[in-house]
Chain A
Amino acid sequence: MSRELWDVPDLQLGPLRFSSLPMMLHSLDYLRSTGPSVDALIGLDVLQRCSFAIDFERHVIVFGTSRRLRSEARLDSSEPYWAVEAVLMNRSVRLIVDTGVPSILLYRDRLGNRLPKLPVERVIRGVSVGGTASLEVVTLPSLQLNGKELNRRAVMLENSPQKALPRVDGYLSLVALGARRLYVDVENNVMSWE
């Protein structure tokens, strides 16, 4: 698989125009296999440049400073991703904030004894750039982000990627927030929603 980084000139997203943007060239076939046809992915190199809000009712992303919303959580941006500290059954779990997953995903081997054995409702196949894997659909007993209850529907993946994302327990889908609107304050590393 190609891992080439190219400088792509003259890129436009709606009213946003970039004279130059580094883009990684690699196959996106895994996306096309199960979902809508997508030509490219927008990463944090674009999103971290200024604060933005995602309005799920109006279906618009608004770039620019806005007011913080009712619930909020601190984003850890010390790694090349945004992570939050959530509380799973009174124990802390570190989750990557992700728009590419439809529900919370947890690595069973990372959680260890922080999560008791849960009834598996069904087993499904998940598709990623790394291939396919079996996922167990479960309902978590309790999961909170800064005191706010999240959607408890989740999938469990037995094994985490070896030697990668060492302090990460899983992924937080924005869907789990149940938000009508989400605001990411990149200057202060705070995500808020309502």
Chain B
Amino acid sequence: MKLTKLFLRSVSIWAVVLSFIVGDTNEARACPVDSVGTASRVELPFKLHDGYLIVVEGRIGARQHLRFALDMNRPTASCAPIWRKASIPVNTPLAS
């Protein structure tokens, strides 16, 4: 039952809304990182939750051990507004 409660997580109209804000994400084809060391292949470990949800660990600024879920049905990365209150460094909003 727990598994089935989550069916609609990413079912939303957000994909359409965000597409107008972000634009064409196909333009970016370079390697996804600014620095990958000397290796041509980069491995990112993940944990699998409930048999399907892929979660990786990361950080923003000094905030460590944050959990990022992989969402292929989302044109741009997302995070909770609470981070703004927690003084995580962000620049001027690009859009609102």
Q: Which residues of A contact B (CB under 8 A)?
A: 2-19, 21-28, 30-31, 34-50, 54, 56, 59-64, 66, 77, 79-82, 96-103, 105, 124-130, 132-133, 135, 137, 155, 157, 161, 164-165, 171, 173-175, 186-187
Contact = CB atoms under 8 A, between A and B. Distances in A.
Interface residues of B, number: 82
Interface of B: 1-19, 21-22, 25-26, 28-37, 40-61, 66-81, 83-84, 88-96
Most interface-central of A16, A100, A174 (chain B CB within 10 A): A100
Contact of B34 (A19, A38, A60): A19
Given A17-B33, A40-B68, A49-B30, A165 B76 contact: no
Nearest to A133: B8
B47 to A, nearest CB: 7
A160 B13 CA distance: 10
Contacts of B57: 13-14
Contact of B77 (A41, A77, A96, A187): A41
Most interface-central of B66, B70, B88 (chain A CB within 10 A): B70
Nearest to B11: A128
B80 A102 contact: no
Given A56-B48, A126-B8, A157-B11, 15 more contacts: A27-B80, A35-B9, A38-B67, A40-B60, A45-B28, A46-B32, A81-B75, A100-B6, A101-B8, A101-B11, A126-B4, A127-B8, A128-B11, A165-B16, A187-B29
Given A50-B30, A61-B56, A130-B13, A26 B5 contact: no
Contacts, number: 342
Given A6-B90, A175-B52, A81 B9 contact: no
B10 to A, nearest CB: 3
B67 A164 contact: no
B53 A35 contact: yes
B46 A61 contact: yes
A118 B46 CA distance: 37
Nearest to B10: A100
B73 A98 contact: yes
